[in-house]
Amino acid sequence: MTLPRKPVSVKGALLLLLLPAGIGLMAIAWLVHGLLLERMSREFVENRLKDEVAFLEHHIRQADGKLDILRTGDYFEEVFHHAFAMQSPAQTIISPQSWRPLLNPLLQSDQQEGIAVHNAKLPGLPSDILAYRKSFFVNDTPITVIVSEDMGALQDSQAELHAWTAIVSILLILLLVGIIWVGINLSMRPVVSLQAALRRLQSGEISRIDAQAPEEFRPLVQQLNQLLDSLDQRLERSREALANLSHSVKTPIAAVRQVLEDTSRSLDNTLRHEMGSRLSDIDRQLEAEMRRSRFAGPQLGKSACPAKQARDLLWMLGRLHPEKSFELSTSLTDESRWPIEEHDLNEILGNLLDNAGKWSAECVELSLEHINGALQIIVTDDGLGVAEGERIHLGQRGRRLDEQTPGHGLGLAIVREIVARYGGQVFFAKGLKGGLKVLIEIAL
């Protein structure tokens, strides 16, 4: 059984990520500094030794390879501050003499140029040296020259410099920790103010979040305020619906109750018909308000697949009106989504297609498109259409232009109400085939 992990705070997550990363980078920089320092010092010493060997070679060539006429003794040692060795078939010169055990093996070696000696176990002599060896000929006489330096003192200096670098790195890490801590606290201030605004909202001191948020948090604040607006609108609609329902059914119920309580009159057919009409009014009003209560309006995270829903509705209406054809025109795929609640889209398409199916002669066409940042729904039929002067009354609640066709005149009114909640518009015009064309546009 796995225990649920406690959520990590943003501040803790940043510290867990930034501090190890900063310490790791400092450690890598310190290691790289040590490697580069050693490499650069070796290259620097080797270049110096190479130059000194070239200097010795120049003097030996000037002396025609005769080492005994050169100024030896401690002259070159004092000039170069390095130990050196020169060897010809007739003579070997090593200075200082104490370095002979170290330099003699190098004179016998076949290695050329840079030679490093480590951990030499010779009393009184350095354990690590760097030498540069070069062999050449002067008048067919082979000459070998070696110049070497004690690397111990240089390594001690490198170690001291590296230690100071470590101390500076530690100080920089501590400074980095402080900077990260201050930076995190400063960057989290907007979150603290947002948290305070939420507490004030919860306590009822404010009705909307008005905290100054950085750019990254503005979408969150806007969505929270939109959610609050949506909740207020729902509450207002619920109160309005209850008030409308109470007002609408009060009179029919009172009339029915009066008829039932009047024992002096018999229930003849006229009264029965009147009571049935009153009850039908109540039923119609209840149906309308129940349908309105199911409308969601814009909801964060809610979307619908318009092409798929349209095909399902067209298939169902094709079974209800087998003598008529229902066609869909769209460039959307079945996976395309619109930010409209699924039930709301079903109500819009269902009412429009149902009305078009009732009034069409043979064909109903539905078009779904996403054009220039707006959602577009077009329903056209090939019926008799609606006169231009009458189109203004389409969508008015309870207003019907033809009393012969079954219905309560609520379909287009419901469509208008849903579209208005999404900030869209409904347009009525004459279709290409003479019938009615309904155009709905909802801007995103």
Secondary structure (DSSP) of 333-364 = -TT--BSS-HHHHHHHHHHHHHHHHHH-SSEE
DSSP 177-207: HHHHHHHHHHHTHHHHHHHHHHHHHHHTS-S
> Phi-psi category of 267—alpha, beta or left, where left has phi over 0 and alpha has psi -120 to 50?
beta
DSSP 365-434: EEEEEEETTEEEEEEEE-S----TTTGGGTT-TT--S-TTSSS-S-HHHHHHHHHHHTT-EEEEEE-TTS
Hey, CA dihedral for 56, 60, 62, 67, is it positive or negative? positive
- The per-residue pLDDT for range 277-305, each reduced to its tens digit, is 777 777 766 666 665 555 555 555 578 88
Other residues' Cβ atoms within 10 Å of the Cβ of residue 379: 24
Q: How is domain 13-156 classified at the architecture level of CATH?
A: 2-Layer Sandwich (3.30)
pLDDT at 421: 82
pLDDT at 400: 46
- The per-residue pLDDT for range 393-427, each reduced to its tens digit, is 786 654 444 444 444 345 788 888 888 888 889 99
What parts of the chain have a pLDDT lower than 50? 1, 4, 73, 398-409
What are the tokens at 202? Answer: 């919860």
| Rounded distance between C-alpha atoms, residue 253 and residue 323, angstroms | 42
Pure H helices in 3-99: 10-62, 75-80
pLDDT at 401: 43
Residues with Cβ within 8 Å of residue 244, at least 6 apart in sequence: 289
What are the tokens at 244? Answer: 């409308």
| Rounded distance between C-alpha atoms, residue 147 and residue 99, angstroms | 11
Of 407, 340, 415, 411, residue with least CA distance to 370 = 340
* Interhelix angle 342-359/306-320, nearest 10 degrees: 40
pLDDT at 408: 36
pLDDT at 327: 92
Q: Are 368 and 438 in contact (CB under 8 A)?
A: no
* Interhelix angle 189-203/151-187, nearest 10 degrees: 20
What is the chain's mean pLDDT, rounded?
Answer: 77
Q: Which residues pair with 86 in a beta bridge?
A: 93, 145
Other residues' Cβ atoms within 10 Å of the Cβ of residue 17: 11
pLDDT at 406: 41
pLDDT at 69: 65
What are the tokens at 251? Answer: 């009179």
Of 115, 138, 147, 116, residue with least CA distance to 50 = 147
- The per-residue pLDDT for range 109-151, each reduced to its tens digit, is 777 777 777 777 777 677 777 888 888 888 888 888 888 877 7
Of 66, 87, 70, 88, residue with least CA distance to 79 = 70
Q: How is domain 306-443 classified at the architecture level of CATH?
A: 2-Layer Sandwich (3.30)
pLDDT at 402: 44
Largest interatomic CA distance in the chain: 158
| Rounded distance between C-alpha atoms, residue 34 and residue 40, angstroms | 10
Q: Are 89 and 142 in contact (CB under 8 A)?
A: yes
pLDDT at 403: 40
